[in-house]
Amino acid sequence: MDLKQSIMNIGKYLKFGAVALFGAVLSSCNSNDDLGKQEIEIPGITIDGDIDCCSAEEALQVYKFLQTVKIIPELSTVIDDKYNVFAYSKTGKFHGGYNDIYFVATKKKNGNYIKNFEISALKPIMLMVKMNMKHSTPVSAGVESFNKNYLAVKRGWVSFVMNTSDAGSWTLSYDYSVLGSDGTTGEQEIIVDALPDGQQWLKSFKAGDDTYYLSLVNPLDWSTGKNTITAFVSKKNTPATTPYGLAGEQFVIEIDPRMPDMGNHTSPDNIGLSRQSDGSYQGTVNLTMTGRWRIHLTVKDAQGNIVAGGDDLSDGYSSLYWEVTI
Amino acid sequence: MLVTALLTTLLMTDTVTLDRVRNLDEVLIVSNERGKRTRSVKGAVAGIDEHLGELRNVNLVRRGSYAWEPVVNNMQTERLSTTIDGMKIFYACTDKMDPVTSYVESGNLQSISLNSGLDGNPQATGNIGGSLDLKLRKVGFEADPRHVSLSAGHEWNGHLQVYGADAAFSSYRTYLNTGVFYRDADCYRVGGGELLNYSQFSKVNLFANAGLRLTDNDVLETTFIFDRATDVGYPALNMDVAKAQGLITSLSYKHLFGWASWETKAYYNHIIHIMDDTTRPDVLIHMDMPGDSWTTGLYSLLTTSVGQELQHDVAVNYDLYYNRLFADMTMYPGGAAPMYMVTWPDVGTLNTGLAVTDNVSVDSRQSLRLSAKVAWQNQRLNNQEGYNGQKVFFPLMTDHYYQTTGRIAASYQLSIFNSQFSIGTGWGSRAPTVTEAYGYYLNNTFDQYDYMGNPHLSNESAFELNSEFSILKSEFSVSLNSNVFLFKDYIIGRLDDRLSAMTVGAEGVKVYRNLDHATIANLSLTADWQITDRLTWNGKLGYSAGLDDEGDNLPLISPVAWRTQLQYGTGRVQTELEVRGNARQTNYAPKYGETQTESWNIVNLSVQYQVNSGISIRGGVENLFDKRYSAYSDWNNIPQKGRNVYLNLTIEL
């Protein structure tokens, strides 16, 4: 650590003290303002008491959540010139593997969020140009509210088995039902970016004639320490253009996290993924540091038979793995 | 511990000046009859590590030719207290490359005092093995109005150059002494002539001490030290140090009552330590490993003498400090993403303690010394990432801990006829160090294991017994010295085969644990013989043992060691022949990764010539027969210097 950094460090401590002091002063000032009623103002939204729409408090929560995600313009649509449906993802784009997609519907007249609407039939399709072949990819079972603080936001997910390239391109469509106006967006072209090196969040395996996909959920939320690891197991459909739903079979996914750049260093007390009531698989992964981790997998069926992975390659670890760089 | 067991090396010649306000240790420095002998033959030009090596009970762990780690009674840093003029200071390197003694220069110091065992100096906490206090050189009031000293030294092996200049000004009301020192060394040659790569270093040091007498009874003093070592090689380790920098400051106020003296000092120090592996070939993964330590604190010491028939010299000390330690590591595998971990999770330690010592002069032949200290400590882990990482291993840990530690010691000394007898006992405890409690994957190249701190450790405690028996005749004296430490909850790393090593090439992971009990014992026999007026001889033989709870050897315990010196002096010329050596290490600890060290003997010659009252020249040859050897405390058995010729010049104006 050089001198500058150390001065900054001292600065940090001083700043901490200053913030604490300032905070104390502020909170003591604020006590006088408690009686003053404060109007909630949300940019672009008029709170006009429309019963279809959120109250001021609810709308504020939704608005705050939407600040943490980015709009996907190609999946947003106008309905009967009365309503808007907006789709969001973390980055406003898609990438290979698991992507959350969030939806809100608003009224054009007041910009406010509509409480009850439905999104269904998320349908991603890959057109492979050279082979003139189409297939879909794993998707969520439905699109649902997921957080009681902002019920007017609905979430679904798509896990892309490949990215957009010269070999093929993706479209995505969904159906909506907003206050009696039903319809579909039709196939909208979307771009699915490749994940950077060191990130492999979707793996597949074959069991019998069936192909299964293991979609790892948002591993970039992980940090050093104990993390919940969440994944979905999806099953390929026939025809392949039907989006792949969650596999009906129950599996157990054992994990062995390793750092290939550190002599396959591992961490203790990891807990394999088991199926939860919501259909997801959850376990615990412990990370001792940031960097590139391979989560080697052994998939077992309900009887405990290995159905995928668990093969010890020359390096001693399963060939089936997710790779995550945090 | 009895007053005679208080050992001191005199770094300065005879220019020691006492402050008006004395504490007992400083009195002892001047009155210490051993003073002349326990000074390094190289004089003030010698490095601080060489001065430390002159202290009885001290060994040095060497990882290179710079920044040696003092070991007292076969206990390392974690069981010692090191203070600079009573100020707490903590090293910033997770690999112990920078014992705090490396952040001062011999020229900054008047003396180094060592209290062996649990009877520490008032500011010491956690001292089971002993407490070192580096006493800064202060010219004091009413000394020579002006004094300038210059020193230069050269050692041929490794082309070590030492230059120092300092000036002192003193009056009734003010004093100032200030100096600048520079050391630079290339890699040295081991016995037989082979060059030991990465054994170079370079160091610059600036210091100033100033005093202002406000009234006849009130004094203000301030200290400033800036010390920077760069390009320091560590041949025993996998990496070197780009920069190790210390800033040490203090302001103190002394008041003299009619019946007592009272000193209160506030201080601040900051250490920055940056390791560097970029000059090494074959580095598997390049790493950045900076460490940062800062400490601020104060102590307030009241010393007084009371009683007529039974005279009590009493000292009461209150101290408070806050230390913060942060270290992290970024590894860069070729092509892939960097990997990052926090190795010391920004641990803030707030410690406060109260100490009392009482020296009782029962009569002219008997004396008694009592000392006690109790300290409270609060530790908080301020770095969330580091805390989360460690919580994986210790799910029940929290981010703050409290500890209470204490020590109590008593000793009795009796002089009858031509003999002196003393016996002492003590009990004390220490809190686990930050490395032991919160260290995260710290690779130890001694045994090739990664070490994990354990936040659930109990305090370690020890019960000490010591004795000394001396026969003193006018021309001959012999002394037998012994101590034994019976530990409870001894802290050491133990293999946890559940865990996977982080460092590439490491054997596995060790986690610090409390051993139910352990024992360390030391026995030494010293003899002095004034053969003629000009010829003197002294010899020392030491034996040590350290055993863990299963009766196996503890690591880094000295084998049988000896040292003998024959000195011949006329008025102006002093010559010395020294032989020192170790027996083959039979008490090594394979269980803790220690390898056996072979026996060795070396011969050193030195000559000192006092040209006139102001100029002295010291020269000599170390390791005369160019023996290739390494001592048990040489990390990974790196060999020591081969034949080395030195010449040092000191000019006092």
User: In whole angstroms, what separates CA B96 from the centre of its chain?
Assistant: 13
Residue with more model confidence, B45 or A68 = A68
For B250, the token pair is 């203090």
Asked whether residue A15 carries a pLDDT value surpassing 50, the answer given is no
For B287, the token pair is 């790493």
Asked whether residue A176 carries a pLDDT value surpassing 50, the answer given is yes
Looking at CA atoms only, how far is residue A96 from chain B in angstroms?
19
Pairwise CA distance, residues B351 & B348, whole Å: 10
SS3 content of chain B, % helix, strand, coil (to 5): 10, 55, 35
* ipTM passes above 0.90: no
User: How many Cβ contacts (< 8 angstroms) between chains A and B?
Assistant: 104
For B523, the token pair is 């026995």
Domain of residue B415: give its range: 3-652
DSSP code string of B325-391: EEEEEEEE-SSS--EEEEEEEEEEEEEEEEEEEEEEE-SSSEEEEEEEEEEEEEEEE--HHHHHHHH
- Judging contacts by C-beta atoms under 8 Å, the chain A residues touching residue B292 are 1, 6, 9
Q: How far is CA B372 from CA A239, B74, B466, in A?
A: 84, 23, 17
Amino acid A29: pLDDT? 44
Asked whether residue A27 carries a pLDDT value surpassing 80, the answer given is no
Instruction: Find, among B284, B283, B393, the residue nearest to B345 by Cα.
Output: B393
Amino acid A39: pLDDT? 72
How confident is the model over A89-127, as pLDDT tens digits?
A: 999 999 999 999 999 999 999 999 999 999 999 999 999
SS3 A283: strand
Please answer yes or no on whether A225 and B292 come within 8 Å at the CB atom.
no
Q: How many CB atoms lie within 10 A of CB B308?
A: 5
Contact A236, A213 (CB under 8 A): yes
- Judging contacts by C-beta atoms under 8 Å, the chain A residues touching residue B502 are 262, 265, 288-289
Give CA torsion, residues B604, B610, B615, B617, to 10 deg.
-20
Amino acid B629: pLDDT? 96
Please answer yes or no on whether A291 and B336 come within 8 Å at the CB atom.
yes
Pairwise CA distance, residues B513 & B455, whole Å: 10
Amino acid B22: pLDDT? 25
SS3 B213: strand
Domains and CATH numbers, chain A: 56-193 (2.60.40), 202-325 (2.60.40)
Pairwise CA distance, residues B619 & A259, whole Å: 56
Q: How many domains does chain B have?
A: 1
Residues in chain A: 326
Q: How far is CA A300 from CA A207, A311, A318, in A?
A: 11, 12, 13
| CATH code for the domain of B188 | 2.40.170.20
Beta bridge partners of B546: B520
Of A3, A262, A263, Cβ closest to residue B272: A3
Burial class (CB in 10 A: 0-12, 13-18, 19+), A43: exposed
Choose, out of B322, B328, B329, B392, the residue to mutate when testing the contact with A (most A CBs < 10 Å). B392
Pairwise CA distance, residues A289 & B331, whole Å: 10
- Interface of B to A at Cβ within 8 Å reads 243, 245, 270, 272-274, 285, 290-292, 294, 326, 331, 333, 336-342, 385-389, 391-393, 395, 441, 498-505
Q: How many CB atoms lie within 10 A of CB A227?
A: 21
3-state secondary structure B157-182: CCCEEEEEEEEEEECCCEEEEEEEEE
Looking at CA atoms only, how far is residue B504 from chain A in angstroms?
6
Please answer yes or no on whether A292 and B274 come within 8 Å at the CB atom.
no
Asked whether residue A38 carries a pLDDT value surpassing 70, the answer given is no
Amino acid A113: pLDDT? 95
Contact B287, B334 (CB under 8 A): no
Instruction: Divide the 653 residues of chain B into consecutive groups of 10 and give the mean pLDDT of each group.
Output: 32 29 24 44 82 86 94 95 96 94 91 90 93 91 91 95 94 94 96 95 96 94 97 94 97 92 97 94 89 97 88 94 97 90 97 95 91 96 96 95 96 91 96 97 93 97 96 92 96 93 90 97 95 94 96 96 94 93 95 94 95 91 96 94 95 88
Question: Considering just the CA atoms, what is the radius of gyration of chain B in Å?
Answer: 24
Pairwise CA distance, residues A54 & A38, whole Å: 18
Pairwise CA distance, residues B237 & B61, whole Å: 13
Contact B249, B269 (CB under 8 A): yes
Amino acid B252: pLDDT? 96
Q: How many CB atoms lie within 10 A of CB A30?
A: 9
**Looking at residue B634, what DSSP letter applies?**
B
Amino acid B6: pLDDT? 31
Is residue A239 reached through a cis peptide bond, with omega within 30 degrees of 0 on the bond before it?
yes
Asked whether residue A25 carries a pLDDT value surpassing 50, the answer given is no
Of B294, B336, B505, Cβ closest to residue A261: B336
Burial class (CB in 10 A: 0-12, 13-18, 19+), A196: exposed
Contact A238, A210 (CB under 8 A): no
Contact B64, B233 (CB under 8 A): yes
Please answer yes or no on whether A290 and B392 come within 8 Å at the CB atom.
no
Please answer yes or no on whether B272 and A198 come within 8 Å at the CB atom.
no
For B396, the token pair is 């029940």
SS3 B261: strand
DSSP code string of B19-86: -SS--HHHHHHHH-GGGGTTS-TTGGGS-HHHHHTTSTTEEEEBSSSS-PEEEETTB-GGGEEEEETT
Choose, out of A1, A10, A14, the residue to mutate when testing the contact with B (most B CBs < 10 Å). A1
* Average pLDDT of the residues in A177-196: 95
Please answer yes or no on whether B502 and A288 come within 8 Å at the CB atom.
yes
Looking at CA atoms only, how far is residue B317 from chain A in angstroms?
29
SS3 A200: strand
- Judging contacts by C-beta atoms under 8 Å, the chain A residues touching residue B391 are 225-226
Looking at CA atoms only, how far is residue B296 from chain A in angstroms?
12
* Position A311 confidence tier, pLDDT thresholds 50, 70, 90: confident
Pairwise CA distance, residues B85 & B207, whole Å: 14
Amino acid A298: pLDDT? 95
Please answer yes or no on whether A289 and B502 come within 8 Å at the CB atom.
yes
Looking at CA atoms only, how far is residue A14 from chain B in angstroms?
14
- Judging contacts by C-beta atoms under 8 Å, the chain A residues touching residue B500 are 264-268
For A96, the token pair is 């290979």
Beta bridge partners of B331: B287, B339
